[in-house]
Amino acid sequence: MKLNLRRTSPAQRSSASRKMMSAALVGAAVVGASVLSLSPASALNWKCTSSSSTIDDAGYSGPFADNWDFTVKNCVARSGGYVYAKATVSWDAPPSYAGTDLTETFDSAHFRLYLKHSDAGADTVLLKKDFNIQPALAAMSSAGNGSWSSSTIKKSVGSKSAYAAGALRLNWDEDGKGVRQYDFKGTRSV
């Protein structure tokens, strides 16, 4: 017997049919919510590599501490014919830099995130994106440290392998050299 619940009064509906309908609605809501909560980037299997470097403030030669310790974590993932990259930059600077807008330290401060393909000789840049990190650097704690994370970039590469790499591009104030690039270790290819 097929039960049409829209045409039956609540008194005619059996307890079992009401329970089945409730369970179906709850199940559909749970499945729908779990599908909506997963973004493509969060479901990826990320491979990350971290490397560190101590970088001297090239625009300052006074008696006070001026070395910045940077750590960069480059990450790459693949989904079908697409590769994704993201990075996190963390730093530990002398506390004397904290609480300033850093315009007397940097004329500009960027992080360049790459997706590259390994070739014989120079590797091919598949995609690159520059991020202005000077505001994040200026927002460091009073102890002189902080971190910043990039958004995710992606590129269609078909079956070609790719890896993520990153570089700090710092233009130190009053050093007369322009932008200096500090490269950090890339990930393994996916």
At 55-90, the pLDDT tens digits run 999 999 989 999 999 999 999 999 999 999 999 999
Phi, psi (degrees; rounded to nearest 5) at 11: -70, -30
CA distances from 27 to 7, 32, 34, 71 (A): 24, 9, 11, 45
Q: Does domain 47-184 have CATH number 2.60.40?
A: yes
Higher pLDDT, 102 or 2: 102
**Domains in the chain: boundaries:** 1-37, 47-184
Higher pLDDT, 25 or 165: 165
CA distances from 99 to 63, 104, 136, 173 (A): 20, 12, 12, 17
pLDDT at 188 over 70: yes
Band of residue 175 on the pLDDT scale cut at 50, 70, 90: very high
Q: Are 34 and 174 in contact (CB under 8 A)?
A: no
Band of residue 10 on the pLDDT scale cut at 50, 70, 90: very low
User: Tell me: the pLDDT tens digits for 116-162?
Assistant: 998 877 899 999 999 999 999 999 999 999 999 999 999 999 999 99
pLDDT mean over 178-190: 96
